[in-house]
Structure 1
Protein backbone atom coordinates (compact mmCIF):
# COMPACT_ATOMS: atom_id res chain seq x y z
CA UNK A 1 0.00 0.00 0.00
CA UNK A 2 2.81 2.44 0.83
CA UNK A 3 4.43 1.78 -2.55
CA UNK A 4 1.10 2.31 -4.32
CA UNK A 5 0.56 5.64 -2.57
CA UNK A 6 4.14 6.68 -3.33
CA UNK A 7 3.62 6.00 -7.03
CA UNK A 8 0.26 7.80 -6.95
CA UNK A 9 1.81 10.84 -5.27
CA UNK A 10 4.71 10.92 -7.71
CA UNK A 11 2.44 10.69 -10.75
CA UNK A 12 0.03 13.30 -9.36
CA UNK A 13 2.88 15.76 -8.76
CA UNK A 14 4.25 15.03 -12.21
CA UNK A 15 0.85 15.85 -13.71
CA UNK A 16 0.12 19.05 -11.79
CA UNK A 17 3.57 20.43 -12.59
CA UNK A 18 2.21 20.89 -16.14
CA UNK A 19 -0.73 23.22 -15.41
CA UNK A 20 -2.22 22.98 -18.90
CA UNK A 21 -2.74 19.25 -18.33
CA UNK A 22 -4.93 20.00 -15.31
CA UNK A 23 -6.72 22.91 -17.00
CA UNK A 24 -7.41 20.93 -20.16
CA UNK A 25 -8.80 18.08 -18.09
CA UNK A 26 -11.83 20.16 -17.10
CA UNK A 27 -11.94 22.68 -19.95
CA UNK A 28 -13.78 20.69 -22.62
CA UNK A 29 -16.57 19.40 -20.33
CA UNK A 30 -17.04 22.88 -18.82
CA UNK A 31 -16.99 24.47 -22.30
CA UNK A 32 -19.56 21.93 -23.45
CA UNK A 33 -21.73 22.93 -20.50
CA UNK A 34 -21.49 26.58 -21.52
CA UNK A 35 -22.18 26.00 -25.21
CA UNK A 36 -24.65 23.09 -25.18
CA UNK A 37 -26.38 22.98 -21.79
CA UNK A 38 -26.70 26.53 -20.47
CA UNK A 39 -28.38 28.02 -23.60
CA UNK A 40 -30.71 25.09 -24.35
CA UNK A 41 -31.51 23.36 -21.04
CA UNK A 42 -30.26 25.74 -18.37
CA UNK A 43 -33.73 26.83 -17.30
CA UNK A 44 -35.14 23.27 -17.17
CA UNK A 45 -34.38 21.70 -13.76
CA UNK A 46 -34.56 18.04 -14.83
CA UNK A 47 -32.90 18.58 -18.21
CA UNK A 48 -30.12 20.68 -16.70
CA UNK A 49 -29.48 18.15 -13.94
CA UNK A 50 -29.28 15.21 -16.37
CA UNK A 51 -27.14 17.23 -18.80
CA UNK A 52 -24.75 18.07 -15.95
CA UNK A 53 -24.38 14.35 -15.27
CA UNK A 54 -23.68 13.81 -18.98
CA UNK A 55 -20.92 16.42 -18.93
CA UNK A 56 -19.45 14.82 -15.82
CA UNK A 57 -19.25 11.53 -17.71
CA UNK A 58 -17.56 13.43 -20.54
CA UNK A 59 -15.01 14.66 -17.98
CA UNK A 60 -14.52 11.09 -16.74
CA UNK A 61 -13.95 9.83 -20.29
CA UNK A 62 -11.53 12.63 -21.08
CA UNK A 63 -9.58 12.07 -17.86
CA UNK A 64 -9.33 8.28 -18.22
CA UNK A 65 -8.41 8.27 -21.89
CA UNK A 66 -5.99 11.20 -21.88
CA UNK A 67 -4.35 10.54 -18.49
CA UNK A 68 -3.61 6.91 -19.31
CA UNK A 69 -3.61 6.89 -23.10
CA UNK A 70 -1.17 9.77 -23.48
CA UNK A 71 0.52 9.54 -20.07
CA UNK A 72 1.47 5.88 -20.38
CA UNK A 73 2.59 6.24 -24.01
CA UNK A 74 4.81 9.21 -23.14
CA UNK A 75 6.22 7.48 -20.05
CA UNK A 76 7.18 4.44 -22.11
CA UNK A 77 9.39 6.67 -24.25
CA UNK A 78 11.37 7.89 -21.20
CA UNK A 79 14.36 5.99 -19.74
CA UNK A 80 12.88 6.14 -16.23
CA UNK A 81 9.96 3.87 -17.17
CA UNK A 82 11.93 0.76 -18.19
CA UNK A 83 14.10 1.19 -15.10
CA UNK A 84 11.12 1.20 -12.72
CA UNK A 85 9.74 -1.88 -14.45
CA UNK A 86 12.88 -3.83 -13.58
CA UNK A 87 12.40 -3.21 -9.84
CA UNK A 88 11.15 -6.13 -7.69
CA UNK A 89 7.93 -4.41 -6.57
CA UNK A 90 5.95 -5.78 -9.51
CA UNK A 91 3.47 -3.97 -11.78
CA UNK A 92 0.60 -3.35 -9.37
CA UNK A 93 1.98 -0.38 -7.37
CA UNK A 94 2.68 1.47 -10.63
CA UNK A 95 -0.64 0.56 -12.25
CA UNK A 96 -2.54 1.28 -9.04
CA UNK A 97 -0.77 4.62 -8.74
CA UNK A 98 -1.81 5.47 -12.29
CA UNK A 99 -5.43 4.60 -11.51
CA UNK A 100 -5.45 6.69 -8.32
CA UNK A 101 -3.92 9.59 -10.23
CA UNK A 102 -6.64 9.28 -12.89
CA UNK A 103 -9.32 9.25 -10.18
CA UNK A 104 -7.85 12.44 -8.72
CA UNK A 105 -7.80 14.05 -12.18
CA UNK A 106 -11.41 12.94 -12.68
CA UNK A 107 -12.55 14.62 -9.48
CA UNK A 108 -10.64 17.77 -10.42
CA UNK A 109 -12.15 17.68 -13.91
CA UNK A 110 -15.77 17.60 -12.72
CA UNK A 111 -15.37 20.66 -10.46
CA UNK A 112 -15.72 23.22 -13.31
CA UNK A 113 -18.79 21.35 -14.59
CA UNK A 114 -20.42 21.49 -11.17
CA UNK A 115 -19.60 25.19 -10.81
CA UNK A 116 -21.13 26.06 -14.21
CA UNK A 117 -24.17 23.97 -13.37
CA UNK A 118 -24.64 25.55 -9.94
CA UNK A 119 -24.13 29.13 -11.08
CA UNK A 120 -25.71 29.22 -14.54
CA UNK A 121 -28.46 26.58 -14.65
CA UNK A 122 -31.51 25.44 -12.69
CA UNK A 123 -30.04 22.01 -12.00
CA UNK A 124 -30.81 20.72 -8.53
CA UNK A 125 -29.74 17.71 -6.48
CA UNK A 126 -29.72 16.85 -2.79
CA UNK A 127 -26.38 16.41 -0.96
CA UNK A 128 -27.02 12.67 -0.56
CA UNK A 129 -27.82 12.26 -4.25
CA UNK A 130 -24.73 14.25 -5.15
CA UNK A 131 -22.53 11.89 -3.13
CA UNK A 132 -24.23 8.89 -4.73
CA UNK A 133 -23.66 10.46 -8.12
CA UNK A 134 -19.96 10.93 -7.43
CA UNK A 135 -19.72 7.29 -6.34
CA UNK A 136 -21.46 6.18 -9.52
CA UNK A 137 -19.09 8.42 -11.46
CA UNK A 138 -16.08 6.51 -10.12
CA UNK A 139 -17.68 3.20 -11.11
CA UNK A 140 -18.49 4.66 -14.53
CA UNK A 141 -14.84 5.63 -15.04
CA UNK A 142 -13.56 2.03 -15.03
CA UNK A 143 -13.91 1.08 -18.73
CA UNK A 144 -12.43 4.38 -19.88
CA UNK A 145 -9.42 4.03 -17.60
CA UNK A 146 -8.89 0.51 -18.92
CA UNK A 147 -9.24 1.69 -22.53
CA UNK A 148 -6.70 4.42 -21.79
CA UNK A 149 -4.25 1.86 -20.38
CA UNK A 150 -4.72 -0.30 -23.46
CA UNK A 151 -4.02 2.60 -25.82
CA UNK A 152 -1.05 3.78 -23.77
CA UNK A 153 0.66 0.39 -23.64
CA UNK A 154 -0.21 -0.60 -27.22
CA UNK A 155 0.78 2.54 -29.12
CA UNK A 156 3.55 5.16 -29.26
CA UNK A 157 2.62 8.65 -28.10
CA UNK A 158 2.10 10.15 -31.59
CA UNK A 159 -0.39 7.44 -32.46
CA UNK A 160 -1.97 7.41 -29.00
CA UNK A 161 -3.12 11.02 -29.15
CA UNK A 162 -4.94 10.39 -32.44
CA UNK A 163 -6.58 7.20 -31.18
CA UNK A 164 -7.67 8.86 -27.93
CA UNK A 165 -9.34 11.67 -29.86
CA UNK A 166 -10.97 9.23 -32.27
CA UNK A 167 -12.27 7.26 -29.29
CA UNK A 168 -13.40 10.09 -27.02
CA UNK A 169 -15.60 12.22 -29.24
CA UNK A 170 -17.49 9.49 -31.15
CA UNK A 171 -18.25 7.75 -27.85
CA UNK A 172 -19.40 11.03 -26.29
CA UNK A 173 -21.65 11.92 -29.24
CA UNK A 174 -22.88 8.37 -29.86
CA UNK A 175 -23.65 7.85 -26.18
CA UNK A 176 -25.91 10.90 -26.16
CA UNK A 177 -23.74 13.01 -23.87
CA UNK A 178 -23.84 16.05 -26.17
CA UNK A 179 -27.54 15.88 -27.07
CA UNK A 180 -30.75 16.58 -25.20
CA UNK A 181 -30.96 13.85 -22.53
CA UNK A 182 -34.76 14.08 -22.47
CA UNK A 183 -35.34 14.03 -26.24
CA UNK A 184 -32.33 12.63 -28.11
CA UNK A 185 -32.35 12.09 -31.91
CA UNK A 186 -33.55 8.68 -33.12
CA UNK A 187 -30.10 7.74 -34.44
CA UNK A 188 -28.51 8.40 -31.05
CA UNK A 189 -31.22 6.37 -29.31
CA UNK A 190 -30.44 3.44 -31.61
CA UNK A 191 -26.66 3.54 -31.22
CA UNK A 192 -26.22 4.71 -27.62
CA UNK A 193 -27.16 1.50 -25.73
CA UNK A 194 -24.21 -0.32 -27.31
CA UNK A 195 -21.61 2.19 -26.12
CA UNK A 196 -20.07 2.27 -22.61
CA UNK A 197 -20.74 6.00 -22.36
CA UNK A 198 -24.49 5.34 -22.31
CA UNK A 199 -24.36 2.74 -19.57
CA UNK A 200 -22.06 5.03 -17.59
CA UNK A 201 -24.35 8.05 -17.81
CA UNK A 202 -27.44 6.01 -16.99
CA UNK A 203 -25.73 4.81 -13.81
CA UNK A 204 -25.14 8.42 -12.77
CA UNK A 205 -28.66 9.49 -13.79
CA UNK A 206 -30.08 6.75 -11.58
CA UNK A 207 -27.80 7.72 -8.69
CA UNK A 208 -29.02 11.34 -8.77
CA UNK A 209 -32.65 10.20 -8.92
CA UNK A 210 -33.56 10.38 -12.61
CA UNK A 211 -34.65 7.08 -14.12
CA UNK A 212 -33.49 3.49 -13.97
CA UNK A 213 -30.61 2.12 -16.05
CA UNK A 214 -31.71 0.05 -19.04
CA UNK A 215 -30.73 -3.61 -19.21
CA UNK A 216 -28.93 -3.40 -22.56
CA UNK A 217 -26.80 -0.35 -21.63
CA UNK A 218 -25.75 -2.02 -18.36
CA UNK A 219 -24.91 -5.31 -20.09
CA UNK A 220 -22.88 -3.51 -22.74
CA UNK A 221 -21.16 -1.45 -20.04
CA UNK A 222 -20.05 -4.71 -18.44
CA UNK A 223 -18.97 -6.16 -21.80
CA UNK A 224 -16.91 -3.07 -22.62
CA UNK A 225 -15.32 -3.14 -19.16
CA UNK A 226 -14.34 -6.81 -19.47
CA UNK A 227 -13.04 -6.36 -23.01
CA UNK A 228 -11.08 -3.22 -22.10
CA UNK A 229 -9.57 -5.00 -19.08
CA UNK A 230 -8.48 -7.95 -21.23
CA UNK A 231 -6.99 -5.62 -23.86
CA UNK A 232 -5.15 -3.57 -21.23
CA UNK A 233 -3.64 -6.73 -19.68
CA UNK A 234 -2.66 -8.02 -23.13
CA UNK A 235 -1.05 -4.70 -24.11
CA UNK A 236 0.91 -4.55 -20.85
CA UNK A 237 2.24 -8.11 -21.24
CA UNK A 238 3.03 -7.50 -24.91
CA UNK A 239 4.93 -4.33 -24.13
CA UNK A 240 6.84 -6.02 -21.33
CA UNK A 241 7.69 -8.98 -23.53
CA UNK A 242 8.88 -6.80 -26.40
CA UNK A 243 11.05 -4.54 -24.27
CA UNK A 244 12.46 -6.85 -21.58
CA UNK A 245 12.86 -10.25 -23.19
Structure 2
Protein backbone atom coordinates (compact mmCIF):
# COMPACT_ATOMS: atom_id res chain seq x y z
CA UNK A 1 0.00 0.00 0.00
CA UNK A 2 1.46 3.38 -1.02
CA UNK A 3 1.34 6.60 0.98
CA UNK A 4 -1.69 7.93 -0.87
CA UNK A 5 -3.73 4.77 -0.36
CA UNK A 6 -2.86 4.82 3.34
CA UNK A 7 -4.16 8.37 3.87
CA UNK A 8 -7.22 8.80 6.10
CA UNK A 9 -10.36 9.69 4.18
CA UNK A 10 -10.71 13.21 5.70
CA UNK A 11 -7.14 14.08 4.68
CA UNK A 12 -7.71 12.70 1.20
CA UNK A 13 -10.90 14.76 0.87
CA UNK A 14 -9.01 17.86 2.04
CA UNK A 15 -6.38 17.33 -0.68
CA UNK A 16 -9.07 17.11 -3.36
CA UNK A 17 -10.87 20.17 -2.00
CA UNK A 18 -7.72 22.30 -1.76
CA UNK A 19 -6.54 21.27 -5.22
CA UNK A 20 -9.93 22.22 -6.68
CA UNK A 21 -10.05 25.56 -4.84
CA UNK A 22 -6.54 26.55 -5.94
CA UNK A 23 -7.35 25.60 -9.53
CA UNK A 24 -10.46 27.78 -9.40
CA UNK A 25 -8.46 30.70 -8.00
CA UNK A 26 -5.76 30.21 -10.64
CA UNK A 27 -8.23 30.55 -13.50
CA UNK A 28 -10.15 33.35 -11.76
CA UNK A 29 -6.93 35.38 -11.49
CA UNK A 30 -6.30 35.06 -15.24
CA UNK A 31 -8.35 37.89 -16.81
CA UNK A 32 -7.78 36.55 -20.31
CA UNK A 33 -9.53 33.31 -19.33
CA UNK A 34 -12.01 34.28 -16.62
CA UNK A 35 -13.44 37.50 -18.07
CA UNK A 36 -14.63 36.06 -21.43
CA UNK A 37 -16.24 33.10 -19.64
CA UNK A 38 -18.17 35.38 -17.28
CA UNK A 39 -18.79 38.43 -19.46
CA UNK A 40 -19.77 37.05 -22.88
CA UNK A 41 -22.92 35.15 -21.80
CA UNK A 42 -24.08 38.17 -19.79
CA UNK A 43 -23.34 40.54 -22.67
CA UNK A 44 -25.23 38.42 -25.20
CA UNK A 45 -28.15 38.03 -22.79
CA UNK A 46 -28.41 41.79 -22.36
CA UNK A 47 -28.26 42.25 -26.13
CA UNK A 48 -30.74 39.57 -27.23
CA UNK A 49 -32.79 39.06 -24.08
CA UNK A 50 -33.22 42.69 -23.03
CA UNK A 51 -32.40 45.16 -25.81
CA UNK A 52 -33.80 43.19 -28.76
CA UNK A 53 -36.55 41.48 -26.77
CA UNK A 54 -38.05 44.72 -25.47
CA UNK A 55 -41.21 43.81 -23.59
CA UNK A 56 -41.40 40.32 -25.07
CA UNK A 57 -41.24 38.24 -21.88
CA UNK A 58 -41.14 34.93 -23.72
CA UNK A 59 -38.11 35.97 -25.73
CA UNK A 60 -36.34 37.06 -22.55
CA UNK A 61 -36.93 33.62 -21.02
CA UNK A 62 -35.92 31.83 -24.23
CA UNK A 63 -32.66 33.78 -24.46
CA UNK A 64 -31.96 33.02 -20.79
CA UNK A 65 -32.14 29.29 -21.53
CA UNK A 66 -30.03 29.46 -24.68
CA UNK A 67 -27.39 31.79 -23.18
CA UNK A 68 -27.15 29.55 -20.12
CA UNK A 69 -26.25 26.70 -22.45
CA UNK A 70 -23.87 28.88 -24.45
CA UNK A 71 -22.12 30.17 -21.34
CA UNK A 72 -21.59 26.84 -19.65
CA UNK A 73 -19.68 25.43 -22.63
CA UNK A 74 -16.70 27.75 -22.16
CA UNK A 75 -15.33 26.69 -18.73
CA UNK A 76 -14.79 23.15 -19.99
CA UNK A 77 -13.42 24.04 -23.41
CA UNK A 78 -11.20 26.92 -22.32
CA UNK A 79 -10.58 26.73 -18.57
CA UNK A 80 -10.19 22.95 -18.67
CA UNK A 81 -8.89 22.27 -22.17
CA UNK A 82 -6.34 25.05 -22.53
CA UNK A 83 -5.17 24.52 -18.94
CA UNK A 84 -4.40 20.86 -19.64
CA UNK A 85 -2.56 21.75 -22.86
CA UNK A 86 -0.40 24.32 -21.04
CA UNK A 87 0.30 22.00 -18.10
CA UNK A 88 1.17 19.12 -20.40
CA UNK A 89 3.56 21.24 -22.46
CA UNK A 90 5.28 22.60 -19.34
CA UNK A 91 5.74 19.13 -17.90
CA UNK A 92 3.39 19.69 -14.98
CA UNK A 93 1.50 16.47 -15.69
CA UNK A 94 4.72 14.49 -15.36
CA UNK A 95 5.49 16.31 -12.12
CA UNK A 96 2.03 15.56 -10.73
CA UNK A 97 2.57 11.86 -11.37
CA UNK A 98 5.76 11.95 -9.34
CA UNK A 99 4.17 13.70 -6.35
CA UNK A 100 2.49 11.78 -3.48
CA UNK A 101 -1.01 13.02 -4.36
CA UNK A 102 -4.10 11.08 -5.45
CA UNK A 103 -3.86 10.36 -9.20
CA UNK A 104 -7.36 11.71 -9.84
CA UNK A 105 -6.90 14.97 -7.95
CA UNK A 106 -5.61 16.89 -10.99
CA UNK A 107 -8.58 16.11 -13.23
CA UNK A 108 -11.06 16.41 -10.36
CA UNK A 109 -9.73 19.89 -9.56
CA UNK A 110 -10.24 21.05 -13.14
CA UNK A 111 -13.70 19.51 -13.23
CA UNK A 112 -14.72 21.31 -10.02
CA UNK A 113 -13.24 24.55 -11.37
CA UNK A 114 -15.46 24.27 -14.46
CA UNK A 115 -18.52 23.56 -12.31
CA UNK A 116 -17.80 26.55 -10.07
CA UNK A 117 -17.55 28.79 -13.13
CA UNK A 118 -20.83 27.31 -14.37
CA UNK A 119 -22.36 28.27 -11.02
CA UNK A 120 -20.99 31.82 -11.34
CA UNK A 121 -22.38 32.13 -14.87
CA UNK A 122 -25.76 30.95 -13.60
CA UNK A 123 -25.76 33.53 -10.80
CA UNK A 124 -24.84 36.36 -13.18
CA UNK A 125 -27.45 35.39 -15.78
CA UNK A 126 -30.14 34.87 -13.13
CA UNK A 127 -29.41 38.27 -11.58
CA UNK A 128 -29.63 39.99 -14.96
CA UNK A 129 -32.76 38.08 -15.95
CA UNK A 130 -34.60 39.03 -12.75
CA UNK A 131 -33.46 42.66 -12.55
CA UNK A 132 -33.31 44.01 -16.10
CA UNK A 133 -34.98 41.16 -18.00
CA UNK A 134 -38.07 41.01 -15.75
CA UNK A 135 -37.96 37.20 -15.93
CA UNK A 136 -40.07 35.37 -13.37
CA UNK A 137 -39.49 31.65 -12.93
CA UNK A 138 -40.66 29.23 -10.26
CA UNK A 139 -38.00 28.06 -7.77
CA UNK A 140 -38.03 24.58 -9.31
CA UNK A 141 -37.38 26.09 -12.75
CA UNK A 142 -34.34 27.96 -11.43
CA UNK A 143 -33.08 24.76 -9.83
CA UNK A 144 -33.74 22.87 -13.07
CA UNK A 145 -31.75 25.44 -15.06
CA UNK A 146 -28.86 25.23 -12.59
CA UNK A 147 -28.92 21.44 -12.80
CA UNK A 148 -28.93 21.57 -16.61
CA UNK A 149 -25.92 23.89 -16.58
CA UNK A 150 -23.92 21.78 -14.13
CA UNK A 151 -24.68 18.59 -16.06
CA UNK A 152 -24.05 20.35 -19.37
CA UNK A 153 -20.57 21.41 -18.27
CA UNK A 154 -19.43 17.77 -18.06
CA UNK A 155 -19.27 16.84 -21.78
CA UNK A 156 -17.41 20.06 -22.55
CA UNK A 157 -14.93 19.29 -19.79
CA UNK A 158 -14.38 15.95 -21.51
CA UNK A 159 -14.01 17.64 -24.92
CA UNK A 160 -11.64 20.16 -23.34
CA UNK A 161 -9.60 17.33 -21.85
CA UNK A 162 -9.36 15.75 -25.30
CA UNK A 163 -8.19 19.06 -26.76
CA UNK A 164 -5.63 19.47 -23.99
CA UNK A 165 -4.37 15.92 -24.46
CA UNK A 166 -3.65 16.42 -28.15
CA UNK A 167 -3.06 20.10 -28.94
CA UNK A 168 -0.14 22.32 -28.06
CA UNK A 169 -0.56 25.29 -25.73
CA UNK A 170 -0.51 27.60 -28.77
CA UNK A 171 -3.00 25.59 -30.83
CA UNK A 172 -5.47 24.74 -28.04
CA UNK A 173 -7.22 28.17 -27.88
CA UNK A 174 -7.79 28.22 -31.64
CA UNK A 175 -9.07 24.65 -31.62
CA UNK A 176 -11.40 25.39 -28.70
CA UNK A 177 -12.81 28.40 -30.56
CA UNK A 178 -13.29 26.34 -33.71
CA UNK A 179 -15.49 24.02 -31.65
CA UNK A 180 -17.17 26.58 -29.37
CA UNK A 181 -18.50 29.16 -31.80
CA UNK A 182 -19.62 26.98 -34.76
CA UNK A 183 -21.20 24.40 -32.46
CA UNK A 184 -23.10 27.12 -30.59
CA UNK A 185 -24.54 28.40 -33.87
CA UNK A 186 -25.28 24.96 -35.33
CA UNK A 187 -27.04 23.94 -32.11
CA UNK A 188 -29.50 26.83 -32.25
CA UNK A 189 -28.14 28.75 -29.27
CA UNK A 190 -27.91 32.02 -31.22
CA UNK A 191 -30.77 31.55 -33.68
CA UNK A 192 -33.85 29.44 -32.80
CA UNK A 193 -33.58 26.06 -34.46
CA UNK A 194 -36.93 26.43 -36.27
CA UNK A 195 -35.47 29.46 -38.07
CA UNK A 196 -32.44 27.52 -39.29
CA UNK A 197 -32.16 25.82 -42.71
CA UNK A 198 -33.65 22.35 -42.87
CA UNK A 199 -30.27 20.65 -43.28
CA UNK A 200 -28.92 22.27 -40.10
CA UNK A 201 -32.05 21.21 -38.23
CA UNK A 202 -31.46 17.62 -39.36
CA UNK A 203 -27.84 17.46 -38.21
CA UNK A 204 -28.35 19.39 -34.93
CA UNK A 205 -28.57 16.17 -32.82
CA UNK A 206 -24.93 15.47 -33.71
CA UNK A 207 -23.77 18.24 -31.36
CA UNK A 208 -23.73 17.96 -27.56
CA UNK A 209 -24.59 21.67 -27.34
CA UNK A 210 -27.95 20.95 -28.98
CA UNK A 211 -28.90 18.56 -26.17
CA UNK A 212 -27.70 21.06 -23.60
CA UNK A 213 -29.83 23.76 -25.22
CA UNK A 214 -32.87 21.47 -25.23
CA UNK A 215 -32.37 20.67 -21.55
CA UNK A 216 -31.90 24.33 -20.58
CA UNK A 217 -34.96 25.45 -22.55
CA UNK A 218 -37.02 22.69 -20.98
CA UNK A 219 -35.93 23.86 -17.53
CA UNK A 220 -37.26 27.38 -18.17
CA UNK A 221 -40.50 26.11 -19.69
CA UNK A 222 -39.71 26.84 -23.34
CA UNK A 223 -39.62 23.19 -24.47
CA UNK A 224 -41.94 20.29 -23.69
CA UNK A 225 -39.79 17.31 -24.70
CA UNK A 226 -38.89 14.75 -22.00
CA UNK A 227 -35.73 15.48 -20.05
CA UNK A 228 -34.20 12.00 -20.12
CA UNK A 229 -33.06 11.88 -23.80
CA UNK A 230 -30.82 14.99 -23.56
CA UNK A 231 -29.56 13.90 -20.13
CA UNK A 232 -28.63 10.47 -21.50
CA UNK A 233 -27.00 12.02 -24.56
CA UNK A 234 -24.91 14.44 -22.49
CA UNK A 235 -23.72 11.63 -20.22
CA UNK A 236 -22.85 9.52 -23.28
CA UNK A 237 -20.85 12.35 -24.86
CA UNK A 238 -19.05 12.82 -21.53
CA UNK A 239 -18.10 9.15 -21.28
CA UNK A 240 -16.92 8.87 -24.90
CA UNK A 241 -14.77 12.01 -24.97
CA UNK A 242 -13.35 11.34 -21.50
CA UNK A 243 -12.34 7.82 -22.50
CA UNK A 244 -10.67 9.11 -25.67
CA UNK A 245 -8.81 11.81 -23.73
CA UNK A 246 -7.58 9.47 -20.97
CA UNK A 247 -6.39 6.97 -23.58
CA UNK A 248 -4.45 9.72 -25.30
CA UNK A 249 -2.90 10.95 -22.05
CA UNK A 250 -1.77 7.43 -21.14
CA UNK A 251 -0.17 6.97 -24.56
CA UNK A 252 1.66 10.28 -24.32
CA UNK A 253 3.32 9.15 -21.11
For 2:207, which of 192, 195, 198 is the aligned residue?
Answer: 195
Counterpart of 1:136 (choices 144, 148, 152) is 148
1:87 Cα offset (Å): 2.1
Question: What residue ranges of structure 1 are gaps of 5+ in the alignment?
Answer: none
The aligned residue for residue 220 of structure 2 is 208
Task: Report the TM-score when normalising by structure 1.
Answer: 0.87
- In structure 2, the partner of 1:231 is 244
- 1:123 offset after TM fit, Å? 2.7
The question of whether the paired residues in 2 share the 8 Å contact of 1:15 and 1:21 is answered with: yes
CA change 1:122–1:186 in 2 (3 A) is farther
SS of 1:77's equivalent in the other structure is helix
CA contact (8 A) 1:44 1:123 kept: no
CA distance in 2, matches of 1:57, 1:142: 12
SS for the counterpart of 1:124 is coil
In structure 2, C-alpha distance between the alignment counterparts of 1:159 and 1:208, rounded to whole Å: 37
CA contact (8 A) 1:42 1:122 kept: no
Show the counterpart of 1:64. Answer: 76
More off after superposition, 33-42 vs 141-150: 33-42
Whether the aligned pair in 1 keeps the contact of 2:69 and 2:209 (CA below 8 Å) is: yes
Please, which of 21, 27, 34 is the counterpart of residue 15 of structure 1?
Answer: 27
Q: 2:135 aligns with which of 117, 123, 132?
A: 123
The 1:44/1:37 distance shift into structure 2, 3 A limit, reads: same
- Equivalent pairs counted in the alignment come to 239
Normalised to the residue count of structure 2, the TM-score between the two structures is: 0.84
Query: In the aligned structure 2, how far is the partner of 1:190 from the partner of 1:37?
Result: 26
Where does structure 2 lack aligned partners over 5 or more consecutive residues? 1-12
TM-fit CA distance, 1:45: 2.0
